[in-house]
Chains A and B, each alone.
Chain A
Amino acid sequence: MGKIYGGHLAAKYLKEIQNVKMVFTLSGGHIENILDGLNKYGIRTIDVRHEQAAAMMAHAWSIYKNEPGVCLVTAGPGFTNALTGIVNAYLDSAPLVVLCGRHPIRDDLTGALQEMNQIDMVKPVTKWCATCYDIKRIPEYLSLAFKQATSGRPGPVFLELPPDILFIQTDEENVALPPKRDHKTALCPDPVAISEAVKIIDSAKQPLFIGGSGVGFSGCKKELEAFIEKTGMPFALLNNGRGTLPDNHPLSISDGGFTGITTGLPQADLVVLAGIRLNWVMQGTKLFPQAKVVRIDIAEHEIDRNRATDLGLVGDCKQVFGELTQKVKKNDHSQWLNTLQNAYKAFMTTELEKRTTPSDPIHPLRLVDRIMEVFGTDAFYVADGGDTCYWGLAGFQSAHPSGVQITAGSLLGCLGTGIPFALAAKLAHPDKPVIVLNGDGSFGFNSMEFDTAVRHNIPIICVVNNDCAWGMIKHSQEMSLGPDRCTCSELGLRRYEKMVEGLGGHGEYVTQDQEIVPALQRAVASGKPSCINVVTDHTVTSPATVIFYQNLSNF
């Protein structure tokens, strides 16, 4: 064994211990040695056009692969550009590992290039952050970072690696690589609490199960399936839990989208919440004031947050479902499921009609329906936008884990996540179609990543739901300020598909219903990253906008 550079040592650890296959990055002088190391150790680098996209893609990778996603950004502006993606991962509890350059320690307080206090800025939005000062300790710090990202409730971690330790060499034999241990938390609640929960579940007449990201991260498909099928409970899976069981499972209410959940919750006598926070997306406590609540969460402090729980089970979903399934009685709630499905379909009369009827201008729900017609459930879908998120949530169905991700609908409500998520989905599942439905406004944030898609040959299909506006904001301004006083919420009709063509992708412009399917088929046939710019009805408002408006207007 000879000498090894600090940057190479970092890459060696990533490859040999964590088996990292891909790192999302944008180059910079401070991190050059790590980039060189990634090449040396055969780790694929996906270099993007804005660090925000690198962080979001690594976050998405963690969701699609159920393993930590790694991004590498340079000091100063590389760091600040990545911040939005880090915060997004923080609020989504995603195991994102951010490796970041830094000005040299040697030059602290001298006015060095890109000198800034990154750690204090990132601390409140990470689970763990640190600076490594010693080349020999790089593997140890990385090992800590990965453990912190994945143990208990996952979350983003941040490790600063200064050039003083990256660009020097040490004897390779002096550095031990700490082994990777599978410390995925296997917390299980007290047996008494499990028995109490079993009693509540067994006696419920109209139970409803809602699972969130905790279900997805726990990798509990088999255990969830056994639990749901034994209890016979209708269920909906949201966020990163979506698709742990396929959307077309006979007990799933996901075909009702948002309406299915909001119709079911007030009628349920028991709501079982697993790995999901009762935050604004779930409308806190409003929807089920009367129901009994059983909550399963790995984070104890979530159990009674925003709503007193009748029974809390602190633990990992996989373990808890395993325990519960052994003890619950076999039940059949098909009549309740049937009633619920009929009810939400009656509430969705207009939505169902819009899906099946061609219209001019095109209704966004019809657009989603046409996309489903072409790709079906054997595909990955992402929606990004305001109203656009609602339309995607209402219509997309997938048979795959995390097959439908409504990225801007999560806690940060961060527009622009769609294209990075779609790119990561395609990298994670290259043989499946990946479609992102993008609001025209949201498209603007990360559309330069079509260059990344072309350079790295990642043929996603981006369908722009083009209402020529920041629709959700425009429609809520119409309600609050009045239609004549809308401000900063109009966008013109722009030929986004030509922009993508200019970057080397495939473009289609669509204004008529019958053009949608052939345009999608040509996009697939092109084999290129594609943008289908679809002009839709700019007058339609989604229920999500009404809720958004109500939330901000009732002070």
Chain B
Amino acid sequence: MKLSFLLFFLAQALKIASVTNSKFKKYIANASVKILIKTEAGPPARLFVFDKGKFHSVSGNTNDFDVALVWKDPNTAFSVMTSKSGDASFKAAAQGKLKVIGMSLYAQWFEDAIKLAL
């Protein structure tokens, strides 16, 4: 539950930034990227869609993504995603708690996007 709220709020924050935050707007202006966040079991899952400056998000699992961040379980996802430390996802990946499916480059791009938006 905690994770689905977090994903929902993240989507809201990105949406607002895509309208109001000029640095963020520039950052996403040319990107066409679909990023899925989910757990190994599937739910909760949410797709974040960037389309040349526009942003929207859809709740639920899908196979139509460029990169998927697949978390071992919702609690890990929540604690890593809310961690202030710069190496939280790196450590989670090293410990087998996070797998990146698809174009992993976009995962880093997404992390940088979040930093700009929040």
User: Among the listed stretches B13-21, B56-64, B87-95, which one makes contact with chain A, having 4 or more residues with CB under 8 Å of it?
Assistant: B87-95
Quick check: is B12 within 8 A (CB to CB) of the other chain?
no
Nearest-CB distance from A81 to chain B (Å)?
37
Assuming the contacts A339-B91, A342-B94, A342-B96, asked whether A350 and B30 have C-beta atoms less than 8 A apart, the reply is no
Q: Which residues of A contact B93 (CB under 8 A)?
A: 342-343, 346-347
Q: Are A546 and B105 in contact (CB under 8 A)?
A: yes
Pick from A267, A338, A541: contact of B87, CB under 8 Å: A267
Q: Are B104 and A554 in contact (CB under 8 A)?
A: no
Q: Are A343 and B90 in contact (CB under 8 A)?
A: yes
Quick check: is B75 within 8 A (CB to CB) of the other chain?
no
Quick check: is A121 within 8 A (CB to CB) of the other chain?
no
Q: Which residues of B contact A549 (CB under 8 A)?
A: 30
Q: Which residues of B contact A356 (CB under 8 A)?
A: none
Q: Which residues of A contact B104 (CB under 8 A)?
A: 259, 347-350, 543
Nearest-CB distance from A389 to chain B (Å)?
15
Q: Are A347 and B100 in contact (CB under 8 A)?
A: yes
- Known A343-B94, A348-B104, A554-B30; 17 more pairs at CB < 8 Å: A262-B105, A263-B90, A266-B90, A267-B90, A290-B86, A342-B93, A342-B94, A343-B90, A343-B91, A346-B94, A346-B96, A347-B93, A349-B104, A350-B100, A479-B32, A543-B104, A550-B30
Quick check: is A362 within 8 A (CB to CB) of the other chain?
no
| Whole-angstrom CA separation of A206 from B91 in the bound complex | 13
A-B contact pairs, 13 of them (CB 8 A): A267-B87, A342-B96, A343-B93, A343-B94, A347-B104, A350-B104, A479-B32, A543-B103, A543-B104, A549-B30, A550-B30, A553-B30, A554-B26
Q: Which residues of A contact B32 (CB under 8 A)?
A: 479
Mark each residue of chain A from 538 to 549: 1 if its CB lies under 8 Å from any CB of chain B, else 0: 000101001101
Nearest-CB distance from A342 to chain B (Å)?
4
| Whole-angstrom CA separation of A263 from B104 in the bound complex | 10
Q: Which residues of B contact A343 (CB under 8 A)?
A: 90-91, 93-94
Quick check: is B35 within 8 A (CB to CB) of the other chain?
no
Quick check: is B107 within 8 A (CB to CB) of the other chain?
yes
Q: Which residues of B contact A347 (CB under 8 A)?
A: 93, 100, 104, 107
Quick check: is B98 within 8 A (CB to CB) of the other chain?
yes
Which residue of chain A has the shortest Cβ distance to B98 in the bound complex? Answer: A346
Overall SS of chain A's interface: helix
| Whole-angstrom CA separation of A550 from B103 in the bound complex | 14
Mark each residue of chain A from 426 to 465: 1 if its CB lies under 8 Å from any CB of chain B, else 0: 0000000000000000000000000000000000000000
> Interface size for chain A: under 10, 10 to 19, 20 to 34, or 35 or more residues?
20 to 34
| Whole-angstrom CA separation of A543 from B90 in the bound complex | 19
Q: Are B30 and A480 in contact (CB under 8 A)?
A: yes
| Whole-angstrom CA separation of A263 from B94 in the bound complex | 11
Q: Which residues of A contact B96 (CB under 8 A)?
A: 342, 346
Q: Which residues of B contact A263 (CB under 8 A)?
A: 90
| Whole-angstrom CA separation of A423 from B107 in the bound complex | 39
Q: Which residues of B contact A349 (CB under 8 A)?
A: 99-101, 104
| 57-79 of chain A: CB within 8 A of chain B | none
Q: Which residues of A contact B87 (CB under 8 A)?
A: 267
> Interface size for chain B: under 10, 10 to 19, 20 to 34, or 35 or more residues?
20 to 34
| 494-553 of chain A: CB within 8 A of chain B | 541, 543, 546-547, 549-550, 553
| Whole-angstrom CA separation of A553 from B27 in the bound complex | 10
Nearest-CB distance from A157 to chain B (Å)?
39
Quick check: is A419 within 8 A (CB to CB) of the other chain?
no
Q: Which residues of A contact B107 (CB under 8 A)?
A: 347
| 330-348 of chain A: CB within 8 A of chain B | 338-340, 342-343, 346-348
| Whole-angstrom CA separation of A263 from B107 in the bound complex | 11
Pick from A339, A343, A479 the residue with the most CB of B within 10 Å.
A343
| 233-263 of chain A: CB within 8 A of chain B | 259, 262-263
Quick check: is B82 within 8 A (CB to CB) of the other chain?
no
| Whole-angstrom CA separation of A553 from B31 in the bound complex | 9
Nearest-CB distance from A334 to chain B (Å)?
13
| Whole-angstrom CA separation of A546 from B31 in the bound complex | 10
Mark each residue of chain B from 56 to 88: 1 if its CB lies under 8 Å from any CB of chain A, else 0: 000000000000000000000000000000110
| Whole-angstrom CA separation of A340 from B86 in the bound complex | 15
Nearest-CB distance from B36 to chain A (Å)?
13
Q: Are A340 and B102 in contact (CB under 8 A)?
A: no
Mark each residue of chain A from 340 to 372: 1 if its CB lies under 8 Å from any CB of chain B, else 0: 101100111110000000000000000000000
Q: Which residues of A contact B86 (CB under 8 A)?
A: 266, 290
Q: Are B108 and A262 in contact (CB under 8 A)?
A: yes
| Whole-angstrom CA separation of A550 from B105 in the bound complex | 11
Quick check: is B8 within 8 A (CB to CB) of the other chain?
no
Quick check: is B106 within 8 A (CB to CB) of the other chain?
yes
Mark each residue of chain A from 399 to 434: 1 if its CB lies under 8 Å from any CB of chain B, else 0: 000000000000000000000000000000000000
Nearest-CB distance from A527 to chain B (Å)?
41
Nearest-CB distance from A480 to chain B (Å)?
7
Q: Are B105 and A543 in contact (CB under 8 A)?
A: yes
Assuming the contacts A339-B94, A342-B95, A554-B30, asked whether A350 and B101 have C-beta atoms less than 8 A apart, the reply is yes
Which residue of chain A has the shortest Cβ distance to B106 in the bound complex? Answer: A546
Q: Are B30 and A546 in contact (CB under 8 A)?
A: no
| Whole-angstrom CA separation of A543 from B104 in the bound complex | 8
| Whole-angstrom CA separation of A190 from B93 in the bound complex | 42
| Whole-angstrom CA separation of A339 from B89 in the bound complex | 12
Q: Which residues of B contact A340 (CB under 8 A)?
A: 94
| Whole-angstrom CA separation of A346 from B68 in the bound complex | 12
| Whole-angstrom CA separation of A553 from B26 in the bound complex | 10
| Whole-angstrom CA separation of A259 from B103 in the bound complex | 10
Nearest-CB distance from B55 to chain A (Å)?
17
Nearest-CB distance from B37 to chain A (Å)?
15
Nearest-CB distance from B98 to chain A (Å)?
6
